[in-house]
Amino acid sequence: MSQAAPISLRELCLTFLKIGLTAFGGGMAIVALTERVVVHEKQWIKPEEFLHGLAFGQIIGPFSLNTCTFVGYRLRGVMGGILAAICFLIPSFAIVTGLAWAYLQFRHLDLLKKALHATNPVIVALICSVVLDMGRKQIKDLTTMVVAVAACLLVAIAKAPISLVLLGAAVWALAYAVYQRGR
């Protein structure tokens, strides 16, 4: 899927400016848009590689930014990672600054409160859509289904830290691979 010629820094910057400008809903909604653009539309990286970047991004900090940084780094090295992160952040910074000012000026209006409240179900729907799409691609058998359900239960019900669940999954996958190799 990766192109033979490297992606230009200009195209990389414009792509992440667009993602930063059009992404709405935070976290997984942004990751869904990023995946659609860099994996499906531009075919810069493979789906599995994108998921690896997403997994790395979950370990620390804001994972949508980390995922964009991973993609930029994968395509153009350190400079690509830095530029992808900056270009992804610029629109958000400008929009949030403007919205914060507007909110502070007009926060007393009931219409604004209702409009903000009405967007919540849309965000939940976007996140569910991403989960279903990624699940269909990655959950291929009973073993991966059990791992996915266990990870979901650990995070959602037991409130286990995501980093520990990812570490546990990595250890389990290594042990399972060694077991499979020995058979």
**Phi and psi (nearest 5°) for 108?**
-80, -10
Q: What is the pLDDT along the chain (183 residues), one digit of tens a residue?
A: 444 578 899 999 999 999 988 877 677 778 888 999 999 999 999 988 988 888 877 777 777 888 889 999 999 999 999 999 999 999 889 988 998 898 888 888 888 888 878 888 887 887 788 788 888 888 889 988 999 999 999 999 999 998 899 889 889 989 988 998 887
Q: How far is 25 from 124, CA to CA, in rounded Å? A: 9
Residue found by looking up tokens 């990023």 in the block:
34
